Structure 1
């Protein structure tokens, strides 16, 4: 907040809606809170009833800190220099926005969705109402922040007038540096809550409802921003990419390459990160051959840098334990629940690893025995766990499990994932050499690999089926195969059941996916008891 300039607010209200009372309340709240404020009113017409705009300026520094100095206020609003516009009618809001009063860099707009038809709208033989959707789009496009709701409905529900609702919205927006109790003190006439009159009590109800309507989405947005900021801080930094590696790739690729390299390095070790770079070098060489001038911005290599890193850093029980035991995660949880420094927060993580999760860390020979045993069971085996990550034992358990990353390379799943990645990589390289777009579409198929468990397995099967049957479809051109792969990929992403994918495959001359075999279990019949 600029502490050398006043906060500027324009209030727009139709006749009889209490705009004058609202302005008086705001000035009185400012004085009660110890701030300097000034208001002016500009009478006008609105093609329905009388309409008055009220202009208010509040200096954001308390009088006690000004050392006897007094700010000089303006008498009228200046287009483009308003911090907020508050209006009780949508068309009036759009009128002020259209007059240049609001700017997307500065102005907060609070408006009602309610409409009072103008004379011109009423004169039409048919439906002459102005499209409210267009008015809303105008408000959204020319405001820094906007809060639009039905103020009339809130006022009716509370049994009060719109001015009290507008005051609550202003208070909930955080525009003015006044605490909530300062507003309520003025609306209640300075009386205790249990001693206010019926009209003041109704005004306080309308104030409270509007306050929450505006405050709640602001707090939710602030929480999302904090989470995104925390996630950004937790994310591997782009500068983790060594300069020697960066020099081997063109500038358009380096940003995504840096993120992918840091992710793979954080996931396993430097050797694994080097393998990631070596795989991308194969793609870059193929793209150089298909597009020597780099006219397409090395999009194939860039997409592979993204999706290859995500696949190579596949989720397993070790990765989950490592992420859940990070200090940044504990800080994020405390922030989400708004815990104070002295508050105790208990976090319980629920795990239910099955036989495949444990088999993934075992060599192939042992893993096959474990999974075969699990398939013979009537129901899959799983181990439900409830781990208190806030406790010493719980955190130690997670850290112990996270320390098993060295075992990952020796596990059966690691070998299986690397074999599948190599098949995809070979298809991308071969497709790129044959036709740039073909390679690009195959690279984008990395989007199919997502989630974990059955979702992840289904995505990998879909990708391999597309590669095996569309990437090398006989009797077709590279361009036609690229079109077919793009259609199949989008169909797979749009329909989890896979029906759209099967239809797209058949439409382009490829077989549909095979039906997954389902085991038939024969159960012994219980003996019938003798009557």
Structure 2
């Protein structure tokens, strides 16, 4: 908050809600803390056609620090110059925003979600109520920060009036430079006795104050903590990618360097230098195709950039070796300690739960042995049994647990010999071949096929479904010579968006049929037989 101008607050309250008392509380709090303050009010109109508004200004610097100078206050709010709006009714909040009082980059809005219907709403022969969701959208769009909750219900639960809840919300927002104790002292009327010895009205007001304070301060504290973790703490951030090797910098255009640097670093960390070289070679083939389709680079080498992004993610697919490597990193332990706010002397125990199945173990086995393992598991499922899995509980805080994670993460060399590695490389080559061929035929077709790399995500059934959808789209749409390239690009884009929007695949099948392609073949699903639990009721 700027120190050379007053903090401005507009309070909107209906009749009987204690808006005048709230204003007196705020002015008393400021003056007891040694700050200059002023308030004015504009009465509302009868029969619910408007609320009474109270305008408060508080100078953020105490009077003793002003060396005899006095701040100049305004008698009325200035549209777009308010620091905060607090309202006891949702439509009144939207009404003040409609009057231009709230500035999206400046104004904090605290509002009750409760509705007291206006005279105009009640006069309608049908349902004349204003749409509450549209009112909420207005609040969100025209506020720097907003808190909307049911103040009326909170007041009823605590046995007080809305003004006490509004005071707690203002205190919890941190709008004024006063501690919570200063607010509670004024609510008590200066009485320092225990709550059980206070009058019933003061005790109820304190309960309402506490509820309003928590409703605003708790989400603000949570948001501040998340922001500090994401923005301020860099101990758990991934290491900065190495500078792009000179050979790659010369080989690829500058428009691709940022994405290439990230992708190359990821693949290098995932496997080894040879795998990173394979990544660069694959990307070079796509670049050659794009240069043939767009020699001048008018499209900013967008196909190569997108391929660099999705190719790196696909080549660094998740497996048990990758998971163990991520779980065993020192930065992860640091992040866990910070999230639980552990001190240096505190002991933190972390248990990781794994449940690898037959597919995860078969991924690292040679193709012949892997096929036998997966066939055995499919046979189990065909007999109605659950897929085989091995539940594991590993204490990564212990020497044995961390040693097992480090041992498993050291098996990178086994990955290349495994069944899944060979299978993933074959699928990657099919996608890249479609991107290259589509690019050489028409730039727009190659671009849509490159974007299809988004379909490959997650692990387990999600990952398998994405690969199945991608291959079907390539087979049905990319190579249809009967359609011109722009039409195929449009069909691929529609199918891709449908696949991303609908996990079940019905939207994708509809998009394929709509563009003249065959829907995906029905996948066989095993039937699992479940034993009926024994009856607990006595037979007659």
Is the structural similarity TM-score above 0.5?
A: yes
CA contact (8 A) 2:50 2:92 kept: no
Partner of 1:214: 216
Distance 2:149 2:283 in 1: 51
Asked if 1 retains the 8 angstrom alpha-carbon contact of 2:6 and 2:57, the reply is no
1:313–1:104 Cα change, 3 Å: same
Aligned partners of 1:450 and 1:456 also within 8 Å:
yes
Change (3 A) 1:27 1:405: farther
CA distance in 2, matches of 1:68, 1:107: 26
Contact 2:89 2:113 in 1 (8 A): yes
Aligned positions of 1:88-487 closer than 5 A: 88-116=88-116, 132-189=132-189, 190=191, 191-229=193-231, 234-235=237-238, 237=240, 240-242=243-245, 244-377=247-380, 379=385, 380-487=387-494
Give the whole-Å Cα distance in 1 for the aligned partners of 2:125 and 2:354.
66
For 1:136 and 1:179, how far apart are their aligned partners in 2?
30
Q: 1:6 to 1:233 in 2, by over 3 A?
A: farther
How much has 1:254 moved relative to structure 2?
A: 3.0
Contact 2:362 2:369 (8 Å CA) reproduced: yes
Query: Counterparts of 1:52 and 1:508 in 2: how far apart (Å)?
Result: 59
- State the partner residue of 1:51: 52
Q: CA, structure 1 residues 174+323, in 2 after alignment: closer, same or farther (shift >3 Å)?
A: farther
- SS of match in other structure, 2:465: helix
Give 1:512 deviation, angstroms: 3.6
Q: Decide whether aligned partners of structure 1 residues 179 and 265 sit closer, same or farther in structure 2, where only a CA change above 3 A counts.
A: farther
Q: Is the 8 A contact 1:438 1:481 kept in 2?
A: yes
**TM superposition shift of 1:290:** 1.8
The separation in 2 between residues aligned to 1:276 and 1:150, in whole angstroms, is 55
Instruction: Report the TM-score when normalising by structure 1.
Output: 0.86
Question: What are the ranges of 5 or more consecutive residues in structure 1 without an aligned counterpart?
Answer: 522-531
Are the aligned partners of 1:223 and 1:336 in contact in 2 as well (CA < 8 Å)? Answer: no
Equivalent-residue separation in structure 2 for 1:504 and 1:391 (angstroms): 52
Distance 1:507 1:95 in 2: 47
Q: CA deviation at 1:422?
A: 0.9
1:196, distance to aligned residue in structure 2 (A)? 2.0
Rounded to whole Å, the distance in 2 between the matches of 1:364 and 1:483 is 38
- Bigger Cα displacement from structure 2, 493-502 vs 101-110: 493-502
Whether contact under 8 Å (1:38, 1:73) holds in the other structure is no
Q: CA 1:30/1:404 → structure 2, altered by over 3 Å: closer, same or farther?
A: farther
Give the secondary-structure state (helix, strand or coil) at the position aligned to 1:381: coil
Change (3 A) 1:198 1:515: same
SS of 1:234 mapped into structure 2: coil
Answer yes or no: is the 8 Å Cα contact 1:350–1:386 preserved in 2. yes
Answer whether contact 2:7 2:176 (CA < 8 A) is retained: yes
Aligned partners of 1:46 and 1:118 also within 8 Å: no
What is the alpha-carbon distance in structure 2 between the residues aligned to residue 177 and residue 263 of structure 1?
47
Q: Deviations over 1:73-104 (max 9, x none)?
A: 33225544432222223444344434444322
* In structure 2, C-alpha distance between the alignment counterparts of 1:37 and 1:247, rounded to whole Å: 66
**In the aligned structure 1, how far is the partner of 2:375 from the partner of 2:147?**
58
Deviation at 1:432, TM superposition (A): 0.9
Residues 503 and 141 of structure 1, relative CA distance in 2, 3 Å threshold: closer
Cα separation, 2, equivalents of 1:330 and 1:185: 44
Q: Is the 8 A contact 1:256 1:302 kept in 2?
A: yes
1:22 and 2:22 equivalent?
Answer: yes
Distance 1:392 1:173, change over 3 A: farther
Q: Give the whole-Å Cα distance in 2 for the aligned partners of 1:500 and 1:3.
A: 57
Aligned residues: 518
Greater Cα offset, 15-24 or 162-171: 15-24
What is the Cα deviation at residue 475 of structure 1? 2.2
